[in-house]
Amino acid sequence: MRYDNRLSDNDELQKKIQAHRPLDEYEVKQLKEYFRIGLTWSSNALEGNSLTESETKVVLEDGITIGGKPLKDHFEAIGHSEAFDLLCKLAVNSGITEKDILGLHQLFYFRIDAESAGRYRERNVIITGTDFTPPRPSDVPQAMQDFVNNIPSLCKLHPVEYAAMLHLNLVTIHPFIDGNGRTARLLMNLALLQAGFPITIIAPVVRGDYISALHDSNKGDSIPFVNFISCCVWESQREYLRLLESLDRK
């Protein structure tokens, strides 16, 4: 499926969102918890986690395990939720550091593999479904340093394009033994929140288009991926506005 560039539409919806601000403490809490569930479920589901959105809500809000579902799936939900809390704390900052990226991965992954959480991989990895080969483990630290050093230049782009490029660059380096996609989506959302945009969810139903856009970008063409992300941001902005209007009802 072809995705059009929606950066101008993103700007228009952002003006409507800004008109509802500032939000009060109750509204902020309601929106935060809504997107905690949505982002945790969708990001994990994109990677094969079997928990449904309702089950993810039960695990996070009630602390109840779901019968017949792998323990790892529960750990991924809890870990992602904790990384989401860090994401919200970091959103008040004006920049992104290597420590921030490692911290997001560490919180998401430490219940699954404590030794690898927040640490760069020491083994080569194969990305299934593509002929793309990520850097060797020995090259990862320098690649990440170069990536972080380039963030000030990237942030001069449109905020949505900037967020998309952060996501793309991180998964291209593939610095962790696992959890790269989820960390990239958290990083993308950190950039969006810092720019005043709402949390953006990539729906599992468009997983094939998402992967296809990533593959195109691995071949040197980032435009399909930026366009794809701009469409996801647009959909999330529409949902955010719907929620704001619901909260504002008299």
Both tokens of 127, joined, read: 């990305």
- Structure letter (DSSP) for residue 118: T
Domains observed in the chain: 7-119+134-247 (1.10.3290.10)
For helices 7-18 and 159-173, the axis angle rounded to 10 degrees is: 120
> How confident is the prediction along the chain (250 residues), in pLDDT tens digits per residue?
789 999 999 999 999 999 999 999 999 999 999 999 999 999 999 999 999 999 999 999 999 999 999 999 999 999 999 999 999 999 999 999 999 999 999 999 999 999 999 999 999 998 887 888 999 999 999 999 999 999 999 999 999 999 999 999 999 999 999 999 999 999 999 999 999 999 999 999 999 999 999 998 888 889 999 999 999 999 999 999 999 999 987 6
Asked whether 175 and 143 are in contact (CB, 8 A), the reply is yes
Query: Could you give the CA distance from residue 155 to residue 104 in angstroms, rounded to a whole number?
Result: 20
Which candidate in 80, 167, 174, 215 is catalytic?
174
174 is catalytic: yes
- Global pTM reads 0.96
Q: Give the Cα separation of 174 and 168 in Å (integer).
A: 10
- Taking CA atoms, 78 is separated from 66, 75, 88, 198, 227, in Å, by 13, 5, 16, 22, 31
Which pair of structure tokens corresponds to residue 108?
């998401």
Determine the length of the chain: 250
